[in-house]
């Protein structure tokens, strides 16, 4: 049975590392739902957060193979329930009447979103949270015209006490 997993990698910041990681996923026929790579405070290291939906046994084999890479310092996987994650979405929404604008501002406030920019013909809104909360916010926006909408991949940390 397919489940959602978050794979965390700590690697050296070397040329073609992302390509090597991608090749391992491709060879195992595993599609990434989301990938984020960011520099860590420790010099010359990267932190990858990769979200996939796959069977447990395949994920276990994948992580073992990733760990064998010289540049991989640490590789681990966790089920969705064992991870705290967030994503960011930016939305450009058409501005309209003052009444609709007030309703929109109420929805933004109620969902703890942020008004980034209020232009004459659109507003730019940012929301950070888990997928469920963001989807509820987007559902509240149905009466409004969303011109553009973009989201980040998920960033995640383990619920466990151990730190990286």
User: What domains can you pick out in the chain, each with its CATH number?
Assistant: 3-81 (3.30.70.260), 84-156 (3.30.70.1150)
Burial of 161 (0-12, 13-18, 19+ CB in 10 A): exposed
Question: In the prediction, which pLDDT does 161 show?
Answer: 54
Question: In the prediction, which pLDDT does 163 show?
Answer: 47
Question: In the prediction, which pLDDT does 83 show?
Answer: 87
What are the average pLDDT values for consecutive 10-residue runs of the chain, which has 164 residues? 94 93 95 93 93 96 93 92 91 87 92 93 94 94 94 84 49
pLDDT in tens, 117-153: 988 889 999 999 998 999 999 999 999 999 999 999 8
- The reported pTM is 0.80
Tell me the backbone φ, ψ of residue 59, rounded to 5 degrees. -65, -40
């Amino acid at each position: 049975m397919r489940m959602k997993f978050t794979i965390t990698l700590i690697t050296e910041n070397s040329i073609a590392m992302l390509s090597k990681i991608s090749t391992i996923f491709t060879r195992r026929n595993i599609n990434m739902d989301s990938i984020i790579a960011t520099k860590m405070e420790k010099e010359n290291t990267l932190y990858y957060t990769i979200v996939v939906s796959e069977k447990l046994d395949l994920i276990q084999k994948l992580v073992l193979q990733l760990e064998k890479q010289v540049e991989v310092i640490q590789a681990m996987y966790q089920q969705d329930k064992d991870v705290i994650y967030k994503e960011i979405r930016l939305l450009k929404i058409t501005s309209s009447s003052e009444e609709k604008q007030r309703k929109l501002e109420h929805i933004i406030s109620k969902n703890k979103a942020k008004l980034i920019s209020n232009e004459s013909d659109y507003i730019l809104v940012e929301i950070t949270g888990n997928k469920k909360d963001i989807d509820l916010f987007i559902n509240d926006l149905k009466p409004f015209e969303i011109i553009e909408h973009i989201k980040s991949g998920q960033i995640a940390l383990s619920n466990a006490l151990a730190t990286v």
